[in-house]
């Protein structure tokens, strides 16, 4: 299917989003673009990013406001990237209806780089309404349940994206790594993830701190793995219909990304 087709029931995605220099990588932007070209065109996009934790659940701008350049020390050109996607007030209303009255609003908060960096590559026209939703907890079970509650949006053509990084340890990453070079801890965790996803072992994924090798090296803090649990909840009924559009490594970090449905 191509992005020109009318949206029906959308899949749920978990993607490794990369830092702003992802745009200069010779491989990864093309992989993201090829992935999006196989999707039906969404009516709207709902993103849960590793870079926004706020409780209770909070919705970012429902109108177009400036992006959040939540990174430091990069060349100036990365701070001039624009992604003026339409706001998504209708989607925000649907999220509130599904989650109840506890949903808060942050009208001045734009999309952070966990949202716009991959979207620039996947939907470069910036013509699809985008809404970002905070992670109210890092508890895997709580996030899985949040994804379950958001799942009905898929029937209305909403593309739910959990945006993190399959392994994420910036102090131990291989900054000089080329291609698929990666340290042992990143490879071990990624191999476990591949096998556990293939086995459909949701319980092991939710309890990854105790079931995965090198878990604390792969994720000293779990915020980049946590969006996966939202995706797993939103795509629970499609776990047997899954694919891995992107795998491999970037500066030693696993960029494994999955699609459910």
DSSP bridge partners of 135: 53
Quote the longest CA-to-CA distance of the chain: 48
Could you tell me if residue 241 is inside a domain? yes
The number of distinct structural domains making up the chain is 1
Is there a domain that residue 198 lies in? no
Within a domain: residue 7?
A: no
The pLDDT tens digits of the residues spanning 225-242 come to: 999 999 999 999 898 899
In a domain, 137, yes or no: yes
How do residues 30-75 score in pLDDT, each as one tens digit? 999 999 999 999 999 999 999 999 999 999 988 899 999 998 788 8
**Gyration radius (Cα) of the chain, Å:** 17
Q: What are 119-155's pLDDT values in tens digits?
A: 999 999 999 999 999 999 999 999 999 999 999 999 9
In a domain, 74, yes or no: yes
Residue 212 lies in a domain: no
Find the CATH number of the domain harbouring 48: 3.40.830.10
Region label for 132, one of left (φ > 0), alpha (ψ between -120 and 50) or beta (otherwise) = beta
Q: Which domain holds residue 230?
A: 12-184+221-260
Q: Is residue 57 part of a domain?
A: yes
Q: Point out which residues pair with 105 in neighbouring strands.
A: 59
**Token pair of 151, please?**
């799942």
CA distance 32 to 9: 20
Q: Is residue 226 part of a domain?
A: yes
pTM of structure: 0.94
Give the H/E segment covering residue 254: strand 253-254
Provide CB contacts within 8 A for 24, sequence distance 6+. Answer: none
């Amino acid at each position: 299917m191509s992005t020109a087709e009318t949206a029906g029931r959308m899949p749920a995605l978990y993607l490794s989003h990369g830092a702003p220099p992802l745009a200069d990588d010779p491989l990864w932007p093309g992989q993201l673009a090829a992935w999006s070209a196989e999707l039906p065109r969404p009516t709207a996009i709902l993103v849960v990013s590793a870079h926004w934790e706020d409780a209770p659940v909070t919705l970012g701008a429902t109108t177009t406001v400036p992006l959040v350049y939540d990174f430091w020390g990069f060349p100036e050109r990365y701070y001039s990237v624009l992604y003026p996607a339409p706001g998504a007030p209708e989607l925000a209303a649907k999220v509130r209806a599904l989650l109840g009255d506890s949903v808060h609003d942050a009208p001045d908060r734009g999309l952070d780089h966990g949202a716009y960096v991959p979207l620039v590559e996947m939907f470069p026209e910036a013509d699809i309404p985008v809404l970002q939703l905070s992670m109210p907890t890092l508890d895997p079970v709580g996030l899985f349940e949040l994804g379950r509650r958001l799942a009905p949006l898929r029937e209305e053509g909403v593309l739910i994206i959990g945006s993190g990084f399959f392994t994420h340890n910036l102090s131990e990453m291989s900054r000089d790594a080329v291609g698929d070079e990666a340290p042992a801890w990143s490879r071990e965790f990624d191999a476990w993830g591949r096998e556990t996803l293939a086995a459909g072992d949701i319980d092991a994924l939710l309890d990854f701190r105790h079931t995965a090798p090198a878990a604390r090296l792969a994720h000293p803090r779990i915020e980049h793995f946590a969006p996966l649990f939202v995706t797993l909840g939103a795509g629970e009924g499609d776990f047997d219909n899954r694919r891995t559009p992107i795998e491999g490594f970037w500066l030693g970090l696993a960029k494994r990304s999955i699609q459910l449905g």
